[in-house]
Amino acid sequence: RSENPRPVRLVFLGAAGVGKSALIHRFLHDRFEHRYAPTVEELHLLELDTIRLEILDTSGSYSFPAMRELRIRHGDAFALVYAVDDPGSFEEVRRLRGEILELRGGKSAPITVVGNKAELTEAEGRELSAGDAMATVEREWEANFVEASARTGGNAVAVFRALLQQVDLPQRPS
Ligand code: GDP
Ligand code: MG
């Protein structure tokens, strides 16, 4: 039914185990499962209001660097996901941002950084504070920042709202 010229492509990138698949699943089905296939790349197609959406859930394990390049060139907006209990995953976000800027040129890109597993307290393993991450992401990188939890569902919708906010939505022909 959609007359949109082409779908809006949202690309999820980030270290293995941060919860990319869980976040997408939460948004699409409002459910949390404990395990997802870690190596499969999945493309979800849906229509939201009048917007055709493609959500690419990457696995990160590309056999060829060219594959990842292609994903980055084709994205309209990027969710760079880390987990609040995994400082290394934030460093991966930093690296991915650099790669996106390099490939696309320019000083900014439509990036939303997502701190997932936000329900974790320090006692439960949280190592990264929302404040520190937000300072880097919003002030230094001028990107969107959202903490979310696929487990509780908190802010799962906000992640997609932030992503779509960065996209020039295709106009339907009138
Ligand atoms: P992906 O490799 O980035 O796609 O990560 P997955 O979605 O497969 O999730 C990796 C692991 O993190 C799984 O064991 C999930 O159950 C767990 N996980 C995902 N989201 C959350 C969350 O919001 N909170 C907690 N505590 N665990 C989560
Ligand atoms: Mg996954």
Which residue, 17, 112, 173, 137, is CA-closest to 128?
137
pLDDT at 164: 96
CA distance 89 to 93: 6
Per-residue pLDDT for 71 more than 70? yes
Find the 19 Cα to ligand 1 centroid distance in Å: 4
Q: What is the ipTM of this complex?
A: 0.99
CB distance 163 to ligand 1 below 6 Å? no
CB distance 150 to ligand 1 below 6 Å? yes
Give the pLDDT band (50/70/90) at residue 17.
Answer: very high
pLDDT at 67: 81
* pLDDT tens, residue by residue, 95-136: 999 999 999 988 889 999 999 999 999 999 999 999 999 999
To the nearest whole number, what is the mean pLDDT of the chain? 91
Q: Which string of b and e fits 77-88 if b means at least 16 CB within 10 Å? A: bbbbbbbbbbee
The CA angle 78-59-134, to the nearest 5 degrees, is: 40
